Amino acid sequence: MSVLSGKKILLGISGGIAAYKTATLVRLFIKAGAQVQVVMTPASKDFVTPLTLATLSKNPVYSTFYEELDEDNNTKEGVWNNHVELALWADLMLIAPATANTLSKMASGTCDNLLMATYLSAKCPVYYAPAMDLDMYKHPSTLENFKKLQEFGNTMIPAESGELASGLSGEGRLAEPENIVSFLEADLASKLPLRGKKFLVTAGPTYEAIDPVRFIGNHSSGKMGFDIALSAANKGAEVILVTGPTHLNVENHLIQIIRITSAQEMYEVCHQYFDAVDVVIAAAAVADYKPKNVAQQKIKKAEDTFVIELEKNKDILFSLGQIKKNQFLVGFALETDNEINNAKAKIIKKNLDLIVLNSLNDVGAGFGKPTNKVTFIDKDFTIFENELKAKELVADDIINLIVKKYEA
User: Mind telling me the catalytic residues?
Assistant: 218
Instruction: With CA atoms as reference, report the closest residue to 291 among 263, 306, 312.
Output: 312
SS3 state at 175: coil
**For the packed helices 339-350 and 316-323, what is the interaxial angle rounded to 10 degrees?**
50
Is residue 295 within 8 Å of 214, Cβ to Cβ? no
The rounded distance, in Å, linking the Cα atoms of 244 and 371 is: 20
The rounded distance, in Å, linking the Cα atoms of 362 and 388 is: 9
Contacts within 8 Å (CB) and 24+ apart, 166-170: 166/133, 166/134, 168/133, 168/134, 169/134, 170/134, 170/137
Task: State the amino acid at position 159 in one-letter form.
Answer: A
The rounded distance, in Å, linking the Cα atoms of 208 and 405 is: 36
| Residues found in the chain | 408
Q: Provide the 10 A C-beta neighbour count for residue 174.
A: 28
Going from the C-alpha of 289 to that of each of 139, 215, 334, 337, 356, the distances in angstroms are: 75, 11, 16, 21, 22
